[in-house]
Chain A
Amino acid sequence: MYNFNYHRPLSVDEAVALAGGAPEGRLLAGGQTLIPTLKQRLANPTDLIDLGEIAELKQLSTEADGGTLVVGAMCSHASVAASDMVRAAIPALAHLADGIGDAQVRNLGTIGGSIANNDPAADYPAALVGLGASVRSNHREIAAEEFFTGMFETALEPAEVISSVAFPVPSKAGYAKFANPASRYAIVGVFVSQGGDGVRVAVTGAGPSVFRVPAMEQALASNFSADALEGIAVDAGALNADLHASAEYRAHLVGVMAKRAVAAAG
C-alpha cells in the first residue's frame, strides 16, 4: 500500500471539503473493496477521507408514510440484513444484504461504498435498479438508472458524497443470486419487484453494469409468476465471460435466477 494522509471528518460538509481540497482524495466507506485495492497498489490517493464517524450517514428510516425506505450510505450490510425496519418493508433487500461477501465483510461493508464502486458483480446495484431507488448525495438526488453509468462508473462528481439511498417500498420483491464460487460476488444476481411503478427486473453480475430486462418485466406485469418467464432469453452477446462462467451460461442463469427471484417474492 502506498502511504496517504488519513482524515476522519465528523460531518458530510467536512468530508466534502476535505475531498475537494486534496490533490487526489478518496472517500473511504467500509473499505472492503477500497482497502484490498490499495493493498494491491492499484490506487494511489494522496488523502483518504474516512466516513466512518459521520453519524448522519448511518440512519435507517422510512418516509412518506412508510412508502419509502431510506438507508444511510454508511449502513453496513449486516445492519441492513438485521434491521427489523428493512425486513418489514423490503425483506428481499435484507436477504440481498445478508448474501454479500461473508459475515466479516458484511460487518464493515456499506451500501454507499458498494454503489459508489459499482462493481459489475456487486449485489446492491440490482436492488437499486430493481426497486427504482434513488441515490441522495450532499447536493442532489439521482435515479438509480442514471446513477450506474458503466463498469465501475457512476454519475458521482468529484468530492460528491452519497448520503443515502431511498427505496420505494414495493408490494413484493425477490432476489436470487448465483455466487461466484471463489469470490462470492454475483455471477448473476436478479432482483425483481412489483410495486406502484410496475414490475422491474434488474440483473447484476451478468453484464458490464446492472441492466433491466424489459421482456421479463412485460411478461411479469401480466402474470407475476415464474412460469411467465419460460422461454424468455437474454442475449448472451453483451454479457461478461470469465473463468467461472461463459456469456452463454450467464444468459441461461439470468433466466433461472429470475424465476427463483419471482418465486422468492411470493
Chain B
Amino acid sequence: MPTVSMTVNGSHVTKEVEGRTLLVDFLRQQLSLTGTHVGCDTSQCGACVVHLNGKSVKSCTLLACQAEGAEVTTIEGLASDGELHPMQAAFKEHHALQCGFCTPGMIMSAVDLLQNNASPSETEIREWLEGNFCRCTGYHNIVKAVQAASQGS
C-alpha cells in the first residue's frame, strides 16, 4: 500500500493508504477529523470542502495520494488558540447554520472566497457558493454572515 505524508492542520502525518482512498475518507477515518462531511457522491454538495495548500477543494474528489506533501486545513484547524476564525464567529452571530451538516464545507468555501475577493457583493457571494448546498437556511443568513465577515463585523 502506498504511504502518504502531508501536513494537516499544522501537524505532519504519514499513513498507509490504498490508491483509491479519498482524501475525505483519509481525514475522517484515519485521522478522526470527522468535521469534514460527505453529502453526495457526484462532487456537488460541498460538505467535504477543505483547503489544499490554501485553496478550497472538494476532498471527496481528490485521492489522499494526490495530497502528498500538501498543507491541508480542515474545519477543525480553522480556529487558532481557542479563538474562532472570523468566519466561524460570523456564522454563529448571523444564524447561518441550522442542522450544521453543510456548515464546515460552507465555512471553508467562504473563507477561500474572502482570500480571493476581500469585499464581495451579494451576487458574488451567491455565485461563489454555487458548490455548497444547504437545505436548511435558504442561504439568506449564510450570505449575511459572509458579508459581515468581509466587513470585519
Direct contact of A and B (CB under 8 A): yes
Do B19 and A48 have beta carbons less than 8 Å apart?
yes
Q: Binary interface profile of A, 81-106, with partner B (CB < 8 Å = 1, else 0)?
A: 01000000000000000000111110
24 contacts between A and B (CB under 8 A): A1-B22, A5-B19, A8-B68, A28-B63, A35-B22, A35-B62, A35-B63, A36-B42, A36-B61, A39-B60, A40-B41, A50-B66, A82-B116, A102-B46, A102-B131, A103-B131, A104-B56, A104-B109, A105-B58, A107-B52, A107-B55, A107-B56, A108-B57, A108-B62
- Determine whether A78 belongs to the interface, using a CB cutoff of 8 Å to chain B: yes
Residues from chain A with a CB closer than 8 A to the CB of B56 are 103-104, 107
Do A31 and B61 have beta carbons less than 8 Å apart?
yes
Do A35 and B61 have beta carbons less than 8 Å apart?
yes
In the complex, which residues 1-27 of chain A have their Cβ closer than 8 Å to any Cβ of chain B? 1-6, 8
Q: How far is the CA of A50 from the CA of B66 in the complex (A)?
A: 8
Q: How far is the CA of A235 from the CA of B56 in the complex (A)?
A: 41
- Known contacts A6-B63, A32-B61; A104/B19 CB under 8 A: no
Name the distance in Å between A94's Cβ and chain B's nearest Cβ.
14
Other than A1-B22, A103-B112, give 4 A-B pairs with Cβ distance below 8 A.
A6-B2, A28-B63, A102-B44, A103-B131
Q: Binary interface profile of B, 97-136, with partner A (CB < 8 Å = 1, else 0)?
A: 0000000000001001100100000000000101110000
- Determine whether B16 belongs to the interface, using a CB cutoff of 8 Å to chain A: no
Residues from chain A with a CB closer than 8 A to the CB of B132 are 102
Q: How far is the CA of A238 from the CA of B71 in the complex (A)?
A: 48
- Determine whether A208 belongs to the interface, using a CB cutoff of 8 Å to chain B: no
* Among all A-B residue pairs, the 3 with the closest Cβ atoms: A102-B131, A6-B19, A102-B130
Interface residues on A, range: 20 to 34
- Determine whether A38 belongs to the interface, using a CB cutoff of 8 Å to chain B: yes
Interface SS majority for chain B: mixed
Q: How far is the CA of A104 from the CA of B62 in the complex (A)?
A: 11
- Known contacts A3-B20, A36-B43, A105-B43; A184/B66 CB under 8 A: no
Do A104 and B20 have beta carbons less than 8 Å apart?
no
Residues from chain B with a CB closer than 8 A to the CB of A31 are 61-63, 66
- Determine whether B78 belongs to the interface, using a CB cutoff of 8 Å to chain A: no
Do A6 and B49 have beta carbons less than 8 Å apart?
no
Q: How far is the CA of A103 from the CA of B127 in the complex (A)?
A: 9
Q: Binary interface profile of B, 29-56, with partner A (CB < 8 Å = 1, else 0)?
A: 0000000000001111010010010011
Name the distance in Å between A26's Cβ and chain B's nearest Cβ.
12
In the complex, which residues 87-145 of chain A have their Cβ closer than 8 Å to any Cβ of chain B? 101-105, 107-108
- Determine whether B65 belongs to the interface, using a CB cutoff of 8 Å to chain A: yes
Listed residue (B2, B65, B116, B128) with the most chain A CB atoms within 10 angstroms of its CB: B65
- Determine whether B93 belongs to the interface, using a CB cutoff of 8 Å to chain A: no
- Known contacts A31-B61, A35-B63, A103-B128; A4/B43 CB under 8 A: no
In the complex, which residues 48-101 of chain B have their Cβ closer than 8 Å to any Cβ of chain A? 49, 52, 55-58, 60-63, 65-66, 68
Do B18 and A52 have beta carbons less than 8 Å apart?
no
Do B112 and A35 have beta carbons less than 8 Å apart?
no
Do A50 and B43 have beta carbons less than 8 Å apart?
no
Q: How far is the CA of A40 from the CA of B2 in the complex (A)?
A: 22
Q: How far is the CA of A102 from the CA of B126 in the complex (A)?
A: 11
- Known contacts A36-B43, A102-B131, A105-B43; A6/B55 CB under 8 A: no
Q: How far is the CA of A4 from the CA of B68 in the complex (A)?
A: 17
Q: Binary interface profile of A, 206-217, with partner B (CB < 8 Å = 1, else 0)?
A: 000000000000
Q: Binary interface profile of A, 19-62, with partner B (CB < 8 Å = 1, else 0)?
A: 00000000010011001101110000000101010000000000
Instruction: From the candidates B19, B42, B44, B128, name the one contacting A3 in the complex (CB within 8 A).
Output: B19
Name the distance in Å between B135's Cβ and chain A's nearest Cβ.
15
Name the distance in Å between B148's Cβ and chain A's nearest Cβ.
20
- Known contacts A103-B109, A104-B49; A36/B130 CB under 8 A: no
